[in-house]
Amino acid sequence: MARAGLTTDLVVAAAADLADESGFDNVTLSALARRFGVKDASLYSHVRSLQDLRTRVALLAGGELIDRIAAAVAGRAGMDALVAFAGAYRAYALEHPGRYAATQIRIDQALIADSPAMRRTAEITYGMLRAYGLGEPDLTDAVRLLRSTFHGYCALESAGGFGADRDVQASWDKAVEALHLALTHWPRETKNDD
Amino acid sequence: MARAGLTTDLVVAAAADLADESGFDNVTLSALARRFGVKDASLYSHVRSLQDLRTRVALLAGGELIDRIAAAVAGRAGMDALVAFAGAYRAYALEHPGRYAATQIRIDQALIADSPAMRRTAEITYGMLRAYGLGEPDLTDAVRLLRSTFHGYCALESAGGFGADRDVQASWDKAVEALHLALTHWPRETKNDD
DNA sequence: GGAGTAGCCTAATCATATTAGGTACCGAGG
DNA sequence: CCTCGGTACCTAATATGATTAGGCTACTCC
């Protein structure tokens, strides 16, 4: 019986593909084993547990996502950068629903902290906001607003939460524009705004 | 052996409580049966399936959420209403994480359509936005922006997604303020904005 | 070419969902 | 009071999936 030649990376990649095809919740060790023509138990040589597998997929997806965003944002600033950031974010979420869903799971904070993807994400996000001239704590508030809106929009959209006729892309563009506006006229901590 | 005296409503309510305590994903028929001191199979007299149970919890939570929001928004307008809406939304999400998580699941569109909660939610949301004087399609875009931000923020917050020191309530207040600002200076469809 | 290890397997256990069919308790009508 | 029907709950069985323990075998390296 020829071996499947599995490695941890292969298994995680296959799990990510499976997630995109069948939904992150349907990523099961059995399904994965079936896909490789292997027994369930064999996968335990490569991942510690289902939990471990999911965490690995989440980290993979997080890395891919920020790479896409970084590429899109490179060389841009201001609203240009914001639009590119938003576009790359949503495109990834729509192209890879399973991988994107993986990024939403609760992960051990320690694991996140030393993941390079996380650092990179913070760098790029704060870098993009530099053009708006915000200082702390407004900067953190703004980052939270952006993350929330992007994430919320993509989550609702891929859950079929937007029932109205209105074109979803058009609403997205408008939302990004509105966020740019909010960032431009940000209500600063110090009372003398503008 | 005394009967537990179950009904569908009791089972669903218990499932909602269980969700808040242990997480929506840990709502299992076995756990629920255990809580009632009953066998798993017995629950099938009251709910059709696990799927059915989850849908019922989702509808329950959706109804509770919009009731809270309606009460908070009543008699307010403009930014006042927006702040009240946002506050009630987030309070519910934080007080009832399991129920709130339930509202995020994919539900048969038909079921949603004729749920009174859904109609009520639309009414109240659009009503709240009336003060901003938006017309379609801006109104729909604005509703999508609000829903996305509120949902995204609560989802990230309860997933422990906000690592920075900055007070989470303060960021929320600022986000709501920023949204108010965006709504006030909304980039309208017609080109002559402002 | 022999030893070691990595990759895969069998077998077993446990939790959970779900179905089929049985039993017992409840209140209503005779 | 007693029986009758339905409802609430049960037992039993099947299936899927996670997980562990322990074994076999085919490459790899010396």
A82-102, pLDDT tens digit by residue? 999 999 999 999 999 999 999
- pLDDT value of position B194: 44
- The span from the CA of B108 to the CA of B61, in Å, is 16
- pLDDT value of position B159: 85
Return the closest-CA partner of residue B105 out of B49, B150, B47, B61: B61
Question: Where does the pLDDT of residue B192 fall: very low under 50, low under 70, confident under 90, or very high at 90 and above?
Answer: very low
**Whole-number Cα distances in Å, B35 to B2, B32, B44, B74, B191:** 15, 5, 15, 38, 60
pLDDT < 50: residue spans in chain A: 1, 191-194
- CATH class label, B8-36+43-184: mainly alpha
What CATH number is given for A8-184 in this structure?
1.10.357.10
- pLDDT value of position B164: 83
- pLDDT value of position A3: 60
Q: What is the dihedral of CA B14, B107, A21, A174, to 10 degrees?
A: -120
Average pLDDT over residues B148-161: 93
The more confident residue out of B188 and A124 is A124
- pLDDT value of position B108: 76
- pLDDT value of position B136: 85
State, as a whole number of angstroms, the distance between the CA of B108 and the C1' of C3. Answer: 60
Residue B29 and residue B43 in contact, taking contact as beta carbons nearer than 8 Å: yes
Pick from B2-11, B48-57, B85-94, B133-142: least confident: B2-11
- pLDDT value of position A125: 95
In percent, how much of chain B has pLDDT > 90? 78
- Strand D closer than 7 Å to the CB of A50? yes
Q: What are the chain A neighbours of B153 within 8 Å (beta carbons)?
A: 144-145, 148, 152
Kindly provide the b/e burial profile for residues B52-76, where b requires at least 16 CB atoms within 10 angstroms of the residue's own CB. Answer: ebbbbbbbbbbbbbbebbbebbeee
> Cis peptide before B137, with omega less than 30 degrees from 0?
yes
- pLDDT value of position A194: 44
Q: What are the chain B neighbours of A161 within 8 Å (beta carbons)?
A: 147
Q: What is the mean pLDDT of chain B?
A: 91
- pLDDT value of position B190: 57
User: What six digits make up the tokens of A34?
Assistant: 């079936």
- pLDDT value of position B172: 98
- pLDDT value of position A193: 42
Whether A106 and B159 lie within 8 Å, measured CB to CB: yes
Average pLDDT over residues B59-85: 95
Considering Cα of B127, then B56, then B114, then A160, what sign does the dihedral take? positive
The more confident residue out of B97 and B119 is B97
